[in-house]
């Protein structure tokens, strides 16, 4: 139970954001990146990094999963100022929906305009191969919860028309950002599939029967994260780009059994490609943010 003197969730988020602002100094990132399972080494490409372990940030949840290191890394990637979360926490670790989305709230309060959410997933779509990067075009929430259940905290709207009790999720994953990502991939000589990501709570992988059911629901990818973060990011008016790494074929699609090791190993193989994509993509996203601010300002 929280004591009567415990700071409210909103105040906790602000304390964490203020703490981070102090650490960031002159850095004022507008773009955030969350790195999923096995993809953490992307953060090593950040130049002049300011590193802040989650354990130092007030109220910040700690990852308990192997392969999720738990650090904020801010600096330059592709010449663009970014704040990278190396590791995230999941509902299956026993965290509440509010704790799972606490970091996203903090990023929103830091004034981010765009978040890029990456994850590892099982491929349901028969056209996908292990090791492919797929842009998330939409999601199906099968987690069994929505992180916004409870009193609506309109102050998370940052004074704009966001932060509403009910809000539109028609374009949860920005079409403009997906176009920029496709352009960046093309310049790197690849074409990205786009697909629908279905989130389950985990931590057990799915049964083949569940995967067949998810396919009939329209899912191309299955994983255990991202959806709560997307919902909260949209609640705060941030644009979202979702990039999923197909680390394995979903249960029952191939004869092999699923393991966290496979997820981790595939992620490791793909992170160079992901880093190269980011270096091309980030400057183009930064340009769109600058031109929007100019129009508004």
Residues that bind ligand HPA (CB under 6 A): 120-122, 205-206, 222-224, 247-248, 250, 258, 263
Q: Which is catalytic among the residues 9, 16, 68, 210?
A: 68
Q: Which is catalytic among the residues 9, 90, 139, 244?
A: 90
Q: Coil, strand, or helix at residue 73?
A: strand
Q: Which is catalytic among the residues 37, 121, 125, 244?
A: 37
Q: Closest Cα to residue 217, out of 293, 142, 115, 157? A: 142
Asked if 183 is an active-site residue, the reply is no
Rank residues 115 and 222 by Cβ distance to ligand HPA and give the closer one: 222
| Start-to-end CA span in the chain (Å) | 45
Tell me the closest approach of the beta carbon of residue 185 to ligand HPA, in angstroms. Answer: 21
Rank residues 14 and 132 by Cβ distance to ligand HPA and give the closer one: 132
Asked if 120 is an active-site residue, the reply is yes
Asked if 68 is an active-site residue, the reply is yes
Distance CA 284, CA 270 (A): 22
Asked if 224 is an active-site residue, the reply is yes
Rank residues 24 and 250 by Cβ distance to ligand HPA and give the closer one: 250
- Which residue has its beta carbon closest to ligand HPA? 122
Question: What phi-psi label fits residue 46: left (phi over 0), alpha (psi between -120 and 50 degrees) or beta?
Answer: beta
Asked if 92 is an active-site residue, the reply is yes
Asked if 193 is an active-site residue, the reply is no
Asked if 126 is an active-site residue, the reply is no
Tell me the closest approach of the beta carbon of residue 121 to ligand HPA, in angstroms. Answer: 5
Tell me the closest approach of the beta carbon of residue 34 to ligand HPA, in angstroms. Answer: 15
How far are the Cα atoms of 43, 55, 112, 141, 296 from residue 74, in angstroms, in the given order? 9, 16, 13, 30, 26
Distance CA 202, CA 56 (A): 28
Asked if 90 is an active-site residue, the reply is yes
Tell me the closest approach of the beta carbon of residue 82 to ligand HPA, in angstroms. Answer: 24
**DSSP label at residue 83:** E
Rank residues 158 and 254 by Cβ distance to ligand HPA and give the closer one: 254
Half-sphere exposure of 84 (CA within 13 A, CB side): 29
Distance CA 216, CA 68 (A): 32
The residues that are catalytic are 37, 68, 90, 92-93, 120, 224-225, 248, 260
């Amino acid at each position: 139970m929280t004591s009567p003197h415990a700071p409210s969730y909103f105040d906790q988020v602000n304390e964490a954001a203020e703490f981070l602002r102090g650490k960031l100094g002159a850095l004022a990132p507008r773009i955030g990146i969350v790195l999923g399972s096995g993809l953490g080494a992307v953060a090593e490409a950040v130049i002049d990094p300011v590193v802040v372990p989650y354990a130092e940030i007030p109220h910040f949840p700690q990852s308990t999963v192997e392969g999720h290191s738990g650090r904020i890394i801010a600096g330059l990637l592709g010449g663009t100022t970014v704040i990278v979360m190396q590791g995230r926490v999941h509902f299956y670790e026993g965290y509440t929906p509010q704790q799972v989305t606490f970091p996203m709230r903090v990023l929103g309060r830091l004034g981010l305009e765009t978040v890029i959410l990456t994850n590892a997933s099982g491929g349901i779509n028969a056209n996908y191969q292990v090791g492919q990067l797929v842009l998330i075009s939409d999601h199906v929430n099968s987690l069994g919860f929505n992180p916004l259940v409870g009193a609506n905290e309109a102050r998370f709207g940052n004074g704009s028309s966001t932060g509403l009790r009910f809000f539109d999720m028609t374009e949860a994953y920005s079409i403009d950002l997906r176009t920029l990502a496709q352009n960046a991939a093309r310049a790197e000589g690849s074409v990205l599939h786009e697909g629908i990501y279905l989130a389950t709570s985990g931590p057990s992988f799915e049964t083949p029967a569940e995967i067949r059911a998810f396919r009939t629901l329209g899912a191309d990818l299955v994983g255990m994260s991202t959806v709560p973060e997307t919902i909260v990011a949209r609640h705060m008016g941030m644009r979202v780009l979702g990039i999923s790494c197909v680390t394995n074929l979903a249960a029952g699609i191939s004869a092999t059994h699923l393991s966290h090791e496979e997820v981790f190993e595939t992620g490791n193989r793909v992170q160079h490609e992901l880093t190269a994509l980011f270096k091309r993509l980030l400057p183009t996203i930064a340009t769109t943010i600058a031109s929007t601010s100019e129009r508004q300002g």
